[in-house]
Chain A
């Protein structure tokens, strides 16, 4: 490792970073995949959505799943902000910058995917101009855009803390003052997130023509509204922990104190635990009351097709729900390296699987008695455009990590151990 690179003046003081060539090579490798995604994106924009394998049965597919999943996983930003600034968990200050960055990546990616997904991208603004207040998507669009603006505001002071930018007095004071009022943005973010995470849950929950997705609820909100918000608050922090641990592995450095990780893991564990209880109650009520009232049985939703079986429900609720909750709630579980890795990976898979089921399985299940299951395999253009934001995220993390003081405890945690004091005293001989 060397700090004497061409760009060393931009690197945070005292931080050790890989040589510039290594950094650029890594950017080039990830960038190649990103360019592949950009090519596919332009194909979709110029040639239309016939580039996908979507059809009239599968109007929503891989992209909408990716959208819902990254928004859920990005929930770590709003929930960590809520815990730090509103609940007063000050320990999270060691992780909050990274949570904001991950959230920023997730939400900007979600907006990009939506821009590719719509049939007439140039008319995208109609959702604001001709807004239908009854539509869950309208609520999603408004809250998502506003929250992205909040995340941008939260990310700006981090950029301004770059070693060179921070030398400019105006930027220095601006960053300082923005940090000072961050609680207001954290509160705004938490409020907006409650609604857009919920509205995404409502997208499938309000479909009274689709018994698989439909849920009863309170007033205009189906139960999925609350379950989505809850699951995002529960599993989003797990994604933040997962990305942090991955970053530590790749950089071979300790970036966040264990105490901070364990605190977030504990809170996440209790959130997942309570969420999964609510999810089980919801599933039970849906299977025994809602679905039979529509003339169907739960077994019809999990049979007679090549993919969707009961295994998916067990995987989501038990293996990726109950198991991570139990691990994270137990002190021994969350403080063991293997336990923590297992739990956060399972939680991320669980919430992503939930979003898959609530988008793709909803459309796969036949509703007309004389109709059949619809299966779908994404085209390479869909896969490439889904990998595009992943690559963009990796690149933004690489740049931010290299040039911005994302981890306030990095220096302290990676300081070389002080040399042992030299004394003339001879060690006492061991008893013979």
Chain B
């Protein structure tokens, strides 16, 4: 906390040269803490730090340099505000000055060299170095335990309390045993939700939630911060908990402001607290320590130690309930074993439970509920075991025992409950309970059903059986999909096309005639050729003529009789080449001439005509669509 900034003009060698100022952050310091001294260089930057001369009663350590970015700064020099203008940035060099003794110490004027120039400070600083004063009044620590002598496994409640009745500004709390109790099981009791809480820092690093309350102690009002731990020793011996140690700055009062010095404010002292806010406190370093604490851990007595003892130490009650007492076969019976009381529940274990052969037992369900009351861990631990009756009849669940060590009496106690009668009635309708693992019931005529006495797995197989070869599943083989997807759709598509063609033949006569014209013409042409070869001249001309005319009639979808008269026009309409039409006309004339007159050509002539007609037909086939 800065107690004041004192600025001194720097005697620089040249007036226009960079200026320096020196300041310290506090005038009052607790022994062990350091005063921070800052050397500010303005208007110039220096690459290296100035070395301070040794100062009597202080240890000087260079902390580091930081750049200034502001261009103007306001400083207060002995109550007067001075605005200093600076043209550019500068550097602050910081030093830690640790006082070596208590008292009023002086940092004298000193000078140092920087960049070849000598600078001197103008006035000395006076620093008050104070020591901690030990107190047990305004601030004190209490560490207590509910019992100082324990049995192994017996829990004790440790309470740490920090009393204070003044404001505290800075503190350092050391609890040497905190977090390092190796021979104890340390647990946190459940916090009281109604209490106020505050966080305290222990051993400079651990945050501990403490309960905060106001108490009256020896006629004075105190604020108490406290926390508790449940300690359960796991090794015998004598343990000393070293004193806890607290250093703090307590606020003794506040410096009066100028306004408060007037009689009015002195009169209305009730305003004091209100006006204290934001004012500079007057603090006093204080230290306090708690008394050391000794814990003696005794071993459990070996004499009369029951064999059934598992380590439960405390004060317990043992309750066992079995319900229902009558069940149908296959129905569950619940055995609830409850250990109630105060003590170390971690060591409370399930009593030995011999399972009757007529029942199938299931792994017990374990439930623990604990709370704190008057520094004791109280609670209950319940073991719930479910038994399912397998055979009908009257049975007895044998008695159950729970053994613990009572530290108040200093001896072992065994509590026994039971035995418990239980009756298993035949199941509804006399059926066997449904159990997947059991073989199906076999009814024996005239007798009782076969009963399953015990269950185990069935025996191994003697024969290795069929060896399976890793094979690709069918759906991973592409050919399978190909075979399934391609052929039938292909056949269907083909059939569809054929059927459509057939239908067209049936309904579209022009199409049917056009498509079949060539086929018919071929037949007639070959007939004509036969006539030619046989020398049947009349037949040749007639057939050849018919071939040509029928072909054109089919192609143009006209009756054959009209073709000689209308063919030329029709062909022209279909944009057939003029030369081809001329050729047709000529061939037709020649045919007519030969058919109806005696002028018959010789064999060569006939051959040539046949060739012409054949060529014509082929050309028409190409041209007429």
A and B physically associate: no
